[in-house]
Amino acid sequence: MITATLLYVEDELLLHTVLETGLDDAGFRVVAVASGEEGLEVLRERPEIVGLITDVNLGPGLDGWGVARKARELNPTIPVIYVSGKDGHDWSAQGVPQSVMIAKPFAVAQVVVAMANLLNQGAALEAGSA
């Protein structure tokens, strides 16, 4: 079984820990960072990253919308999940295409299932174009 490596960008330490543990328990490898700038650095330096989960509000600096747009510039097919407590209404205008928005508070299983579905959709599209 191939383990997918995900990038998780979240500035709230408690959520950071809870979701990172849940994703790890579900079989994903997780690289977790606390800022958009750190997230971009990881995306540039770690080509094994195959999925992005990002909070929308990351404090000062680059927000989650920007992280996802930059991620798609580097990898146009990378699956993206946004998590937010209050910015869900901006998703249709700010979010990248074929992404998912999950409102806080959420169950870890919601994120696990959403990422698995996005990764499977991407694999199916690649198989169909081969």
Split into its structural domains, the chain has a count of 1
Q: Which residue has the tokens 């500035």?
A: 11
User: Of 1, 15, 17, 5, whose CA–CA distance to 115 is shortest?
Assistant: 5
Tokens of 59: 């404090």
CATH of the domain at 42: 3.40.50.2300
**Pairwise CA distance, residues 80 & 83, whole Å:** 10
Work out the pLDDT band at 87, boundaries 50, 70, 90. low
83-98 residues labelled b (16+ CB within 10 A) or e (exposed): bbeebbeebeebbbee
Helix (H, G, I), strand (E, B) or coil at 38: helix
Q: Given this model, what pLDDT does residue 128 score?
A: 54
pTM (2 d.p.): 0.92
Q: Given this model, what pLDDT does residue 123 score?
A: 60
Q: Give the domain range for residue 67.
A: 5-129
Q: Given this model, what pLDDT does residue 126 score?
A: 59
